[in-house]
Amino acid sequence: MSDVRYPFTAIVGMADLRLGLLLNAVSPAVGGVLVRGEKGTAKSTMVRALAGLLPSIATVDGCRFACDPATPDPQCPDGPHASATSSEHPSQLVELPVGVAEDRIVGSLDLERALAEGVKAYEPGLLAKAHRGVLYIDEVNLLQDHVVDLLLDAAAMGRSYVEREGVSVRHAARFLLVGTMNPEEGELRPQLLDRFGLTVEIAATRDPAERAEVVRRRLAYDADPAGFAARFAEDERTLAERITAARELLPKVELTEVALRQITAVCAAFEVDGLRADIVMARTAVALAAWDGRTEVQEEDVRQAARLALPHRRRRNPFDAPGLDEEQLERTLEEHAQQDDPEPDPEPEGDGGGDGGDQGPDGDGDGPGDGGGPNGGGAPEPSDGGAPEATTADTDATGDQPQQPVPAQHPAPARESAPVAAGDPYRTRLFTVRGTGHGAQGRRSPAETTGGHTIRSRRPQGALGRLHLTATLQAAAPHQVARGRGGRALVLQKDDFREQVRQGRESNLVLFVVDASGSMAARQRMTAVKGAVLSLLMDAYQRRDKIGMITFRGAGAELALPPTSSVEVGAARLESLPTGGRTPLAEGLLRAHEVLRVERLRDPNRRPLLVVVTDGRATGGRDALARSQRAAALFAAQGTASVVLDCESGPVRLGLAHTLAGLLGGTSVSLDELRAEGVASLVRENRPAAGRGDVRATTIRKAA
pLDDT range class, residue 301, cuts 50, 70, 90: very high
Same domain, 542 and 681: yes
Instruction: Provide the pLDDT for residue 166.
Output: 67
Task: Estimate the crossing angle of helix 299-309 against helix 257-269, to 10 degrees.
Answer: 30
pLDDT range class, residue 288, cuts 50, 70, 90: very high
Same domain, 582 and 646: yes
Instruction: Provide the pLDDT for residue 687.
Output: 34
pLDDT range class, residue 691, cuts 50, 70, 90: very low
pLDDT digits (tens, 9 = 90+) for 218-253: 999 999 999 999 999 999 999 999 999 999 999 999
How many CB atoms within 10 Å of residue 130? 25
Determine the Cα–Cα distance for residues 414 and 498; give it in Å rounded to an integer. Answer: 64
Residue 414 covered by a domain: no
For 579-591, letters b (16+ CB in 10 Å) and e give bbbbbbbbbbbbb
CATH number (domain holding residue 273): 1.10.8.80
Same domain, 470 and 517: no
pLDDT digits (tens, 9 = 90+) for 153-184: 787 778 888 877 667 888 888 888 888 887 76
Determine the Cα–Cα distance for residues 393 and 370; give it in Å rounded to an integer. Answer: 32
User: 264 pLDDT exceeds 90?
Assistant: yes
Residue 448 gets which letter from DSSP?
A: E
Same domain, 541 and 455: no
Determine the Cα–Cα distance for residues 471 and 457; give it in Å rounded to an integer. Answer: 7
CATH number (domain holding residue 50): 3.40.50.300
Identify the helix (H) or strand (E) that includes residue 426. strand 426-433
Residue 313 annotated as catalytic: no
Contact by Cβ (8 Å): 526, 520: yes
pLDDT range class, residue 569, cuts 50, 70, 90: confident
Residue ending a domain, among 459, 489, 505, is 505
Residue 233 covered by a domain: yes
Domain extent, residue 301, equals 253-360
Determine the Cα–Cα distance for residues 593 and 585; give it in Å rounded to an integer. Answer: 12
Determine the Cα–Cα distance for residues 556 and 554; give it in Å rounded to an integer. Answer: 6
Mean pLDDT score, 592-616? 88
Range with the poorest average pLDDT among 125-129, 134-138, 334-338: 334-338
pLDDT range class, residue 117, cuts 50, 70, 90: low
Same domain, 431 and 466: no
0.75 exceeded by pTM: no
pLDDT range class, residue 609, cuts 50, 70, 90: confident
SS3 495: helix
Counting residues of the chain whose pLDDT is more than 70, the rounded percentage is 70
For 342-372, letters b (16+ CB in 10 Å) and e give eeeeeeeeeebbbeebeeeeebbeeeeeebb
SS3 624: helix
pLDDT digits (tens, 9 = 90+) for 436-464: 666 666 657 666 666 666 767 888 877 77
Same domain, 625 and 696: yes
- List C-alpha distances in Å: 189 to 278, 407, 659: 21, 46, 38
User: 84 pLDDT exceeds 80?
Assistant: no
Residue 470 covered by a domain: yes
How many CB atoms within 10 Å of residue 697? 21
* H-type alpha helices, 292-349: 299-309, 326-335
β-strand partners of 60: 86
**Highest-pLDDT range among 331-340, 416-425, 662-671:** 662-671
For 432-461, letters b (16+ CB in 10 Å) and e give bbbeebebbbbbbbbbbbbbbeeeebeeee
Radius of gyration of the CA atoms of the chain, in A:
30
Same domain, 541 and 424: yes
**Highest-pLDDT range among 94-98, 303-307, 598-602:** 303-307
Instruction: Provide the pLDDT for residue 607.
Output: 84
Q: In this predicted model, which residue has the larger pLDDT, 582 or 355?
A: 582
Determine the Cα–Cα distance for residues 700 and 535; give it in Å rounded to an integer. Answer: 10
Same domain, 665 and 526: yes
Mean pLDDT score, 613-620? 84
Same domain, 34 and 168: yes
Omega within 30 of 0 (cis) for the link into 80:
yes
User: 255 pLDDT exceeds 90?
Assistant: yes
- Summary mean pLDDT of the chain: 75
Our count of domains for the chain comes to 4
pLDDT digits (tens, 9 = 90+) for 394-438: 333 333 333 333 343 344 444 445 555 555 555 554 556 666 666
What sign does the dihedral 9-11-12-15 (CA atoms) show? negative
Identify the helix (H) or strand (E) that includes residue 613. strand 608-614
Written as one letter, the residue type at 151 is L
User: 626 pLDDT exceeds 60?
Assistant: yes
SS3 165: coil
C-alpha torsion angle, residues 661, 665, 667, 668 (rounded to 10): 0
Instruction: Provide the pLDDT for residue 399.
Output: 37
Instruction: Provide the pLDDT for residue 266.
Output: 92
Range with the poorest average pLDDT among 93-102, 105-114, 495-504: 105-114
Same domain, 34 and 160: yes
Mean pLDDT score, 570-585? 78
How many CB atoms within 10 Å of residue 7? 22
Same domain, 136 and 221: yes
Contact by Cβ (8 Å): 586, 375: no
Pick the catalytic residue from 211, 247, 276, 429. Answer: 276
How many CB atoms within 10 Å of residue 398? 24
Mean pLDDT score, 579-600? 88
Mean pLDDT score, 524-531? 66
Determine the Cα–Cα distance for residues 6 and 222; give it in Å rounded to an integer. Answer: 10
Residue 118 covered by a domain: no
Same domain, 181 and 286: no
CATH number (domain holding residue 600): 3.40.50.410
Instruction: Provide the pLDDT for residue 388.
Output: 35
